[in-house]
Copies of this chain bind each other. A is one copy, B any other.
């Protein structure tokens, strides 16, 4: 089930993998702004992602809020042994997004330590990311709570 792109990951290619590793997301034009251990910041362009009333499609807002889990996994956990999956997403759409949008998400070192302990002990561990998707004026357009599971590769 695992694709070669993931198994052969070179950390230098992590940014490219986030932007282009999932064709669906690549077609949306997602861009990495910051990608470092425990912190990522991503951008979703409005262009190409408009909906039936000219605002950003909810699915593009979902994607920019969902991808941080995988991006943080890439920068923070042992990608040679573990792969991330999403278990749950709660996303509240607060106002129309009429510009590009960004999201910045962090994991504390304490959380990273807990996840690593659980991965060693059980081969899997859940972690939760709280996100705010903002437009270029700083308005919050969506608020998200996403639960991921890092798990040992099959």
Contacts and interface: CB of A to CB of B under 8 A. Distances in A.
A63 to B, nearest CB: 4
A39 B57 CA distance: 22
A11 interface: no
A109 B142 CA distance: 31
Contacts of A89: 58, 62, 89-91, 93
Interface in A4-31: 5-6, 17, 21-25, 27-28
A90 to B, nearest CB: 5
Interface of A: 1-3, 5-6, 17, 21-25, 27-28, 48-55, 57-60, 62-63, 66, 70, 83, 85-93, 96, 98
